[in-house]
Amino acid sequence: MTRGPTGDWLTISTVGEPVRAFLPKPLPPVPELQIDGTLRRSLDEALLALGRLDSVTTLLPDTSLFLFMYVRKEAVLSSQIEGTQSSLSDLLLFELDEAPGVPIADVQEVSCYVAALEHGLARLREGFPLSNRLIREIHERLLARGRGAEKQPGEFRTSQNWIGGARPGLATYVPPPPEHVPRLMSDLERFLHEPSERVPVLVKTALAHVQFETIHPFLDGNGRVGRLLISLQLWSEQVLRDPLLYLSLYFKAHRSTYYDLLQRVRVEGAWEDWIRFFAEGVRDTAQGAVVTARKIVDLFERDRQQIHGHERAVGSALRVHHALQQRPVASVPLLVEMTRLSGPTVSSALRMLEQLGIARELTGKRRNRLFAYDRYVAMLGEDETRP
């Protein structure tokens, strides 16, 4: 359904030139959404895929292992959309205080994303509501270091911003003037707490994402916060028992369609087209997460069987193998701390895992060596270079 603009255009002057800024109307859309059979089928397929993802997590030996790595994978992919070159391996090295293979600012940015997401999850677990206060807290952690640290971390913007173009007159989109941001975000916060009987969860999440990106309430980091909020919202609404759904890969793979649909919602009111795209993204991402989870469970089990087939020191090798599932790039001292085994015992177990092709030493040094659970890291990072 085409409604026409979903807000008003305001002519303002910024950086010395007149531009048209967009002021969105509150959610939900008016006239109300037209959920026809095709769109209903897309939403049902998305919910079914989420249910399968929720079910497969009950089969995992330790969901926290997967959450630890999925959060980091999402941080890498979401930051890549903003132009960083960091990989999952770079991030894991950085977290060990080792030099990554890309500029340190790139990895700091990804590391801050991890901190922001983990803070949001922790706050929601302790019963704090998904609110503007929490959104600002997340933003503060996102811009704590590196690029953007000087752009009002944790505060809604007090100056005009724009998207695309070296100056406002060349922008592809100009968000609302800053004096409107507090009211618009208050309206969005109220909408986030609409009961699911009035607005189904997937529809609400889809609508809220567009509204957040349209308001663009911060001077920097809006895209990353907006993508992060999708995961937090779905989890806080208890669609999933564990927050294992992240859409950055889907948005990265369909970048031009994503940006085109955001603008079409503003200009044409094409909410149904956007919701269909969003639902397909949820479906595809959930299905992909199920496949990856099963592949990783199979990998862990095959490697365990290999270790059991060895003649000696099976118990210590299994403990080191389990530690590498938690931290797939690790030093000997870290593995000693995690397993409570002695340094010589850990080193002996690592030699066995190297012989079996499970672990690989990364540095080529005699001291300060690092070991990687190669196939596990590769399995999680196989989507990083997808355009």
Q: 46, 283 in Cβ contact below 8 A?
A: yes
Element (H, E) at 370: strand 370-372
Token match 């797939």: residue?
Answer: 328
Nearest-angstrom CA–CA distance, 72 and 113? 8
Q: Which residues 6+ apart lie within 8 Å of 95 measured at CB? A: 111
Determine the Cα–Cα distance for residues 145 and 165; give it in Å rounded to an integer: 25
Contact 49, 283 (CB under 8 A): yes
Please name which of 311, 304, 298 lies closest in space to residue 358, comparing C-alpha atoms: 304
Structural domains of the chain, ranges and CATH numbers in brackets: 7-291 (1.10.3290.10), 309-381 (1.10.10.10)
Q: Supply the DSSP string of 80-108, one letter for each residue.
A: HHTT----HHHHHHHHTT---SS-HHHHH
| pLDDT at residue 387, rounded to an integer | 45
Q: Is 128 exposed, middle or buried (0-12, 13-18, 19+ CB in 10 A)?
A: middle
Stretches in the chain below the pLDDT threshold 50 = 385-387
Reported pTM: 0.91
Say how far apart CA 185 and CA 208 lie, in whole Å.
11
Answer yes or no: are the C-beta atoms of 118 and 232 closer than 8 Å: no
Burial class (CB in 10 A: 0-12, 13-18, 19+), 246: buried
**What are 330's strand-pairing partners?**
371
> Do 50 and 286 form a contact (C-beta atoms < 8 A)?
yes
Task: State residue 385's pLDDT score.
Answer: 46
Tokens of 68: 């630890």
Reported residue count of the chain is 387
